[in-house]
Structure 1
Amino acid sequence: MEPQRCTDRISFGEVASWRVPGPLGPVVCVHGAGVSTRQTMPLLRRLSGRVEAWGVDLPGYGKSTSPGGFLAVPELADALLEWTRAREMDRPCLLGVSMGSQVVAEAAALAPDDVGSVVLAAPTTDPRGRAWPLLGARLIWNNMLEGADVLSYSVPDYWDAGAGRVLRSWAQSRKHRLERVLPDVSQPALVVWGSQDKVCSQAWVEEATRLLPRGRLVVLPGQYHALSSTGPRQLADAVQDFVGEREEAS
């Protein structure tokens, strides 16, 4: 079943989202820096019929309207929470890809009563690779390995967002200190990492998992950084297992 598009108005503007049905969930999928739900759409399609899943365009990206100014990670987390409340979601699982993990972690730490669990897929930014020359080299290397599939959505997304917003989103991802937020995420948390990810190191995702009070790490062999688009089947399997376990335990 193809994802169904929805539009909601919150204080940050109009927010576009896409939904697929399923017996588990809901899971809300949050895209990375400068892109949109185009990045998570392959994952939504894999979750369809298995998990109720939503892909949301954060304010200023994709089909959502501009909030008027640039939103830092904590402000994007506020917008995400406001949208889940507008949708009357009952403690959803928040899933973030790359910089989306930073937004999701901030939201979970800020509103523990409103977020049931989190999935951090390829969480950025690796403190060991935060310096611009190294981070830039890792991004270029990873993008070359991921190939045309990633370019097929990233190029139009960058065009939609505009060069200024994209560059500021990359800088914000680098500036934000996820490692300081993770100890405050009290919900069950799943960290997912592709073994061929050149942006996030294994040492970093292992550290991130240790920093989470209730964290667990799943490694997807042979997968790269943009897991929702390059490894959607494997990521969907991990998400379904995680959400199913949480619902059985509740």
Structure 2
Amino acid sequence: MQRITAAVSGWPVVAWRSAGRGPSVVCVHGAGVSSREFQPFIEVLGRRRDAWTVDLPGFGASGGPPRPLGLRALADAVAEWLTAVGLEQAVLLGGSFGCQVAVEAAVRHPDRITGLVLVGPTVDPAARGFLRQLLRWVRNAPHEQASMAVLNLADYRDAGVRRVACTFTETLRDRIEDKLPHILVPTLVVRGAYDRLVPQEWAEEVTRLLPAGRLAVVPKAGHMVPYRRPHALAGLVSDFLAHQCAATGANDRTRPEQSGAAG
């Protein structure tokens, strides 16, 4: 994988790329974590597609402002980052809170986003509260790989307590269900069969609210499908791009003269 650093509002934003053919797929991580959770997935997807995973400002290896960014600012940062690395358009793949960032970006910058993949979309309105989410997280934990806990702790350390707490607050505050009917691009909703944060009923409701949505369930997976089942998810995404996004004219070109500095 190639490490690429680009300036976004003066902050160094780091991404990893596994280059393949387009359209380009950009992975957006969840609350408090980083692109580490997607690297096994883009290694697989990059054998077939142009795959990226980016650390949002203030997370992972990326710099950011002292004050944590809200959801809208994070979505705008994604759009600015696309320009900085020379991607005119892309398919956004969000994981957990990354789905909320991806949806917000598609609403605010519809000309830049040609498709969405929402893996474990949060937050189910039936459990929009800290204690309910915590309980679901505890129930989901046995279905994740133990190595995820080590990565998460490293991510929380890198982001800092304040930024992590603020991002989780944004997760609960956002009403993604109100935005989904306005997403006109093809959208694939993905749920792990054992996911306790995103029950089947909510995944079906997300799909129903989307004008051009379809649902896929990955067997033997909890909430973190990209980390636990990267090959299965890569197959779903490749099929989705081939059959659902072909008519959108997704632009897979990059402008090398605008690309960030490789590191």
What TM-score bracket applies, with the shorter chain setting the length?
over 0.9
- Which is further off, 143-152 or 181-190? 143-152
RMSD after superposition: 1.3
Counterpart residue type for residue 64 of structure 1: S
Counterpart residue type for residue 188 of structure 1: P
The 5 A counterparts of 1:213-224 are 213-224=211-222
Residue 184 of structure 1 corresponds to 182
Distance in 2 of aligned mates of 1:132 and 1:193: 21
Tell me, yes or no, if the aligned pair for 1:143 and 1:150 is still in contact at 8 Å.
Answer: no
2:81 corresponds to which of 62, 83, 86: 83
> How far off its partner does 1:25 sit?
2.0
2:28 corresponds to which of 27, 30, 37: 30
Tell me, yes or no, if the aligned pair for 2:89 and 2:114 is still in contact at 8 Å.
Answer: yes
Tell me, yes or no, if the aligned pair for 1:142 and 1:198 is still in contact at 8 Å.
Answer: yes
Distance in 2 of aligned mates of 1:197 and 1:246: 25
Gaps of 5+ in 2: 250-263
For residues 75-118 of structure 1, the C-alpha deviation after alignment (integer angstroms, 9 at most, x for no partner) is 10000001011222132100000000000000011111111101
Counterpart residue type for residue 165 of structure 1: R
Tell me, yes or no, if the aligned pair for 1:59 and 1:76 is still in contact at 8 Å.
Answer: yes
2:65 corresponds to which of 61, 64, 67: 67
1:154 corresponds to which of 133, 152, 163: 152
> How far off its partner does 1:12 sit?
5.4
| 3-state SS in 2 of match to 1:236 | helix
Tell me, yes or no, if the aligned pair for 1:72 and 1:172 is still in contact at 8 Å.
Answer: yes
Residue 241 of structure 2 corresponds to 243
Gaps of 5+ in 1: none
Relative contact order: is structure 1 or structure 2 higher (C-alpha 8 Å, sep ≥ 6)? 2
Distance in 2 of aligned mates of 1:176 and 1:82: 21
What is the TM-score with the length of structure 1 in the denominator? 0.95
Residue 225 of structure 2 corresponds to 227
Aligned length: 248
Residue 175 of structure 1 corresponds to 173
Residues 1:128 and 2:126 aligned together: yes
Counterpart residue type for residue 63 of structure 1: A
For residues 97-146 of structure 1, the C-alpha deviation after alignment (integer angstroms, 9 at most, x for no partner) is 00000000000111111111010000000111112222111111212331
Tell me, yes or no, if the aligned pair for 2:114 and 2:245 is still in contact at 8 Å.
Answer: no
Distance in 1 of aligned mates of 2:143 and 2:218: 16
Distance in 1 of aligned mates of 2:10 and 2:208: 34
2:13 corresponds to which of 8, 12, 15: 15
What's the % identity of the aligned pairs?
Answer: 41
Distance in 1 of aligned mates of 2:214 and 2:54: 25
> How far off its partner does 1:166 sit?
1.1
Runs of 4+ in 1 over 2 A off after TM superposition: 246-250
Tell me, yes or no, if the aligned pair for 2:88 and 2:112 is still in contact at 8 Å.
Answer: yes
For residues 59-86 of structure 1, the C-alpha deviation after alignment (integer angstroms, 9 at most, x for no partner) is 0100000223111111100000010112
Counterpart residue type for residue 117 of structure 1: G
> How far off its partner does 1:192 sit?
0.5
Distance in 2 of aligned mates of 1:206 and 1:88: 35
Distance in 2 of aligned mates of 1:33 and 1:79: 15
Distance in 2 of aligned mates of 1:230 and 1:172: 26
Distance in 1 of aligned mates of 2:72 and 2:188: 21
Distance in 2 of aligned mates of 1:53 and 1:25: 9
Counterpart residue type for residue 189 of structure 2: V
Residues 1:52 and 2:50 aligned together: yes
> How far off its partner does 1:165 sit?
1.2
1:211 corresponds to which of 209, 212, 227: 209
